Every structure is written in structure tokens, then in C-alpha cells.
């Protein structure tokens, strides 16, 4: 017969083991996947048949409502920029612009501010000399690709809550005649949305044949969340990532239309990838490190892409098959870059109400223009 003391010790030891095992199991429980959604800053540039356009914030503190977003244009064939911000609408909330590369119209949306609960619109076909007012009875998303215009004039608008609205023509858009294309919850519940674990929509665009496109951030690692509308249903349309990126969560930082398809800027982990769709397959660039964060980004002609990173570092890629190339460090205060004459780049630097334009020539930036913007400080308070 065993000693009772030995038995008691064995029982206590067993109970302790169960308790420890239970605690260990609880500590090792797997948390649901998560992602910190990042979105591109509103400062950007784009190119249409009218010319190059650039958006930057000027003035002073946003907390004091002394930040005023401005729109500039350099008409096709010209070398100098002009201030063309649509008048008579508060723009403290930010500007969003879109225009097809071969299209004739430029569309600008105002993000709500000053008590507005909707986004006024303005459209121009003469490089901003005249603007036709319009209305989107909702709040545009806080991303540069929240508007998209197809070559035929069809328009998409991404709202703050992830809903995507569509207008059949520019006239319908400016008249406030929008209809719902989809919502974030519906897109996330679709088969491709579930496969990617879609949590946010960050960009809209048009693909070939006026196909509506949407893009965002995915929980599932190694998946680029780009989707194409096919007769009311959504299909996965994103690229496969290069080897070595299967363990990274991917966020689409930008999505733009090109004459032959689409261009996309992807953030995979801590690296940026450019990708181009030609209607048949995707081509994906080698990565470039996004060290210091992304201060601004945008698309240029032929699927070119540029990014402005922390510390004035700037990288560009010319298009499908190209590789990232570093530019000379951007001048102090650079808010955005824009494709320049002759295939180069302009840097638009901001200091209060002064905009200085620098042009890259022979690997160095040269000052070419200064614009003093008439800003009425305190007018928004």
C-alpha cells in the first residue's frame, strides 16, 4: 500500500500541471489577424490631355483652419504653372481630382469642411479657366484616388464609408445624379473580398472597356486587393506578388487608368511595388524601400509612377518593365512632384502662401518659378 503522503503529493502535482497547462493554453490563443490601414496623402499630381495638374496644401495650421488646399496646372506644351483652384467653396478638408489621360474634362471634388456634410464638385475643360459646379451628396474619401473618370466620361466616387457611387456622364455627375455601385461590406462579402480579407477601400479607377475597378487593404498575406466589376459581380483582378512577399500584408496605395490598362502602387510590408495591367497580364517591379513613410505619390503618362518619401527622397519608375530610379533629393518644403516637360519632373515646394517650382535638370533641381497665392488667413474660423 502506497504512503498517503506520496499519494497526496501526486494528486497535487497533477492538479498543478492541469492549471499550468490551462494557463499556457490561454496565453497561446491566436489573436484574429489585424492590419493598420495606411492611405496615401492627398497631395498628388496627374496628367490629362489638358496638361499636368498638382494638388498641395498651403497656408498654416490645420488645427486653426488656416490650411487651404490649392490646385495648379501646367497646360500641355507650356513650361509655367498657374493657380486654378475652383472658387467659392471651402477647401480646408482637401481636394481630390481625376481626369482620363486622353479625356477632355478635369473633375475636382472638395472634401467636406466648414460644416458641410457633402462634397461639392467642379469640372473644367479649359485648363481651369472656367469651372462648372456640381454635387456629390455624400463625403468623398480622404484619398487621392477617390474619383475616377473614364475616357467615355463615366465617373466613380469613393465615399468616406467605403461606398462606391457611379455617374454615367460628366453632366449627370455635376447634376448630382449618382447611383450606388457597391459598398465596402458587399465587396468584402464577395468571393474575392473574402479571399483577400478586405478591410478598407482606398482607390477607384477604370480598366479596359470602362470596367469599374476598386482596390484596398487585405488581411490575408500575399494578396493584392484589386477588384473588377463584371456585370454587377466582382472578380479578383490583382497581380501575383514576387517571391519573398507571400508573408506580407498588401495595401493598394494608388490605382490609375492608362491607355492600355491600369497602373497600381502597392505597399507590401515596408516595401513599395509598382504594377501594370495590359489587359492580359500584370508586370510587377522590383521593390523599393518605403523608409521614412510616403509623403506624396502620383501617376504620370504611360503608366509612370512617382513617390516622395521621408527626408526628401524621391523615386520614379517609367512604366511596365521599368525599375525604380532615385531622383536628386527634393528641395526643402516639397509638397508634391509632377511630371515635367521633356519627361523630367517638377517639384512644387510650399512655404506658407508661397509656391516655388523647381525643375530637375542634369541631376540637379533649378528654381524656375515662384507663385504667391492669395490666402486669407482666419477666413475659415
Question: What is the DSSP code (8-state) at residue 210?
Answer: G
pLDDT of residue 380: 65
- The larger pLDDT score, comparing residue 321 to residue 98, is at 98
pLDDT tens for each residue of 309-347: 999 999 999 989 899 999 999 999 999 999 998 889 999
Are the CB atoms for 110 and 91 separated by under 8 Å? yes
What gap in Å lies between CA 239 and CA 224, rounded to an integer?
A: 6
* Amino acid 31: pLDDT: 56
Of 90-99, 109-118, 122-131, 161-170, least confident by mean pLDDT is 109-118
Q: Are 340 and 360 in contact (CB under 8 A)?
A: yes
Average pLDDT over residues 220-224: 95
Domains in the chain, CATH or no CATH each: 44-372 (2.130.10.10)
Confidence of residue 377 (pLDDT cuts 50, 70, 90): confident
Least confident of 21-35, 95-109, 218-232, 308-322: 21-35
67 band by pLDDT with thresholds 50, 70 and 90:
confident
Cross-strand pairs, 151: none
Q: What pLDDT, on the 0 to 100 scale, is given for residue 10? A: 41
Query: 3-class SS at 72?
Result: strand
Q: Grid cell 494638388 — which residue? A: 55
Cell numbers found for residue 39: 492611405
Top-confidence range, 24-28, 64-68, 273-277: 273-277
The CB density around residue 372, as the number of other CB atoms within 10 Å, is 10
Q: What percent of the chain has pLDDT over 70?
A: 90
Whether residue 217 is predicted with pLDDT greater than 90 in this model: the reply is yes
Query: pLDDT category, 101, cuts 50, 70, 90?
Result: low
Joined grid coordinates for residue 227: 477588384
Q: What is the DSSP string of 181-195?
A: EE-HHHHHHSHHHHH
Res. 361 pLDDT band, cuts 50 70 90: confident
Q: Distance between alpha carbon 116 and the CA centroid of its chain, in Å?
A: 23
Please report the pLDDT score of residue 113 as a whole number: 86
Q: Could you tell me the sign of the dihedral formed by the alpha carbons of 87, 90, 92, 97, in that order? A: negative
Q: Which three cell numbers stand for residue 6?
A: 506520496
Task: Kindly indicate the confidence band of residue 24, based on its pLDDT and cuts at 50, 70 and 90.
Answer: very low
Average pLDDT of the chain to the nearest whole number: 88
Among candidate residues 41, 58, 68, the one with its CA nearest the CA of residue 381: 68
Instruction: Give 92's contacts (C-beta < 8 A, 6+ positions apart).
Output: 62, 65, 67, 68, 69, 113, 114, 380
Burial bucket for residue 291 (CB in 10 Å: 0-12, 13-18, 19+):
exposed
pLDDT exceeds cutoff 80 at 30: no
Per-residue pLDDT band for 102 (boundaries 50, 70, 90) equals low
What is the average pLDDT across 297-312?
A: 94
Query: Is the predicted pLDDT of residue 35 greater than 60, yes or no?
Result: yes
Position with higher pLDDT, 243 vs 114: 243
What CA–CA distances, in Å, run from 146 to 110, 162, 215, 297? Answer: 11, 10, 11, 14
Q: Tally Cβ neighbours within 10 Å of residue 25.
A: 9
With beta carbons less than 8 A apart as the criterion, state whether 3 and 11 touch. Answer: no
pLDDT of amino acid 190: 97
Closest C-alpha among 21, 72, 30, 23 to residue 51: 72
Q: What would the mean pLDDT of 215-223 be, rounded to a whole number?
A: 96
Amino acid at each position: 500500500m502506497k504512503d498517503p503522503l506520496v499519494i497526496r503529493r501526486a494528486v497535487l502535482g497533477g492538479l498543478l500541471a492541469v492549471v499550468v497547462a490551462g494557463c499556457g493554453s490561454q496565453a497561446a490563443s491566436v489573436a484574429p489577424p489585424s492590419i493598420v490601414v495606411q492611405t496615401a496623402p492627398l497631395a498628388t499630381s496627374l496628367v490629362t490631355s489638358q496638361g499636368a495638374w498638382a494638388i498641395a496644401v498651403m497656408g498654416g495650421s490645420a488645427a486653426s483652419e488656416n490650411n487651404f488646399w490649392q490646385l495648379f496646372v501646367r497646360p500641355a506644351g507650356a513650361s509655367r504653372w498657374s493657380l486654378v483652384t475652383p472658387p467659392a467653396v471651402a477647401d480646408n478638408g482637401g481636394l481630390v481630382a481625376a481626369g482620363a489621360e486622353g479625356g477632355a474634362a478635369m473633375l475636382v471634388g472638395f472634401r467636406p469642411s466648414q460644416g458641410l456634410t457633402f462634397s461639392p464638385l467642379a469640372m473644367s475643360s479649359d485648363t481651369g479657366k472656367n469651372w462648372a459646379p456640381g454635387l456629390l451628396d455624400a463625403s468623398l474619401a480622404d484619398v487621392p484616388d477617390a474619383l475616377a473618370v473614364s475616357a467615355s466620361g463615366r465617373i466613380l466616387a469613393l465615399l468616406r464609408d467605403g461606398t462606391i457611387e457611379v455617374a454615367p456622364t460628366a453632366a449627370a455627375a455635376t447634376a448630382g445624379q449618382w447611383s450606388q455601385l457597391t459598398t465596402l461590406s458587399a465587396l468584402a462579402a464577395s468571393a474575392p473580398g473574402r479571399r483577400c480579407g478586405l478591410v478598407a477601400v482606398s482607390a477607384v479607377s477604370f480598366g479596359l472597356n470602362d470596367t469599374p475597378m476598386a482596390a484596398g487593404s487585405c488581411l490575408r498575406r500575399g494578396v493584392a486587393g484589386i477588384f473588377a466589376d463584371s456585370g454587377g459581380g466582382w472578380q479578383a483582378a490583382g497581380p501575383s506578388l514576387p517571391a519573398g512577399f507571400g508573408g506580407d500584408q498588401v495595401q493598394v496605395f494608388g490605382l490609375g487608368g492608362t491607355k492600355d490598362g491600369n497602373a497600381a502602387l502597392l505597399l507590401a510590408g515596408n516595401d513599395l511595388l509598382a504594377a501594370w495591367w495590359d489587359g492580359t497580364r500584370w508586370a510587377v517591379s522590383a521593390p523599393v524601400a518605403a523608409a521614412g513613410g510616403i509623403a506624396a505619390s502620383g501617376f504620370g503618362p504611360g503608366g509612370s509612377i512617382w513617390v516622395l518619401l521621408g527626408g526628401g527622397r524621391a523615386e520614379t519608375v517609367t512604366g511596365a518593365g521599368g525599375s525604380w530610379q532615385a531622383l536628386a533629393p527634393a528641395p526643402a518644403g516639397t509638397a508634391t512632384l509632377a511630371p515635367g516637360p521633356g519627361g523630367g519632373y517638377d517639384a512644387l515646394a510650399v512655404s506658407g502662401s508661397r509656391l516655388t517650382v523647381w525643375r530637375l535638370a542634369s541631376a540637379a533641381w533649378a528654381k524656375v518659378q515662384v507663385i504667391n497665392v492669395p490666402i486669407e488667413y482666419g477666413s475659415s474660423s
